[in-house]
Amino acid sequence: MKQTILRYSLGSNLIIYSIRVLIGFLLGFVIYKEFPEFPTVWTMISIFLVISPDEKDSEQLAIDRTKSNFIGSAIGLICYTLKASEFWMMFIGIFSAIIICKLLNILAVARTAMVAIVIVLVHEQEIHTYMGALERFISVTLGCFIGLIITLSTRRLIYNLRVKVGLIKPSELGE
């Protein structure tokens, strides 16, 4: 019975994705509650952006989304220093993200960079400071790394469990 449950659950990308997202939510929520003075809701959102439901390419997608998210939040931080309206900061940032993601051959995840730009540049009227943008940059970057760590650590664990219960042969997935 235990073996049957393991075979069905380990063979389901939906269950694996759900577990990853719930782990990410738990970690993100703890950070959100422990540091209410910081914009850590963006950490949780970034965790969700990095974790992929497709197990096949989950590791590479998580890496590419982390790169893209970091690129976007860094561009957002740089654009924040421009003496321009919020519209032009976002416009320049989004255009820059598309170009940089194309140059780095990660255009497929450029939308993640664009989301990060908006997160860093959008501000509440009372918190229009460089420090606020920096805090959002840190929150986004932290979320990316948490999502990446969850994906990489669970991928190896799931691979080993799948081999153990006979769902795959040790040579599959190139491991």
Q: Which residue ranges make up each domain of the chain?
A: 2-167
CA 38 to chain CA centroid, Å, is 19
The pLDDT tens digits along the chain (175 residues) read 666 666 667 777 788 889 999 999 999 999 999 999 888 898 999 999 888 877 777 788 888 988 998 999 999 999 988 888 889 999 999 999 999 999 999 998 898 899 989 888 886 544 567 787 888 889 989 999 999 999 989 888 888 887 887 777 776 555 4
At 168, which amino acid appears?
I
- Select from 7, 89, 13, 78 the least CA-distant residue to 51: 13
> What is the rounded radius of gyration, in angstroms, for the C-alpha atoms of the chain?
18
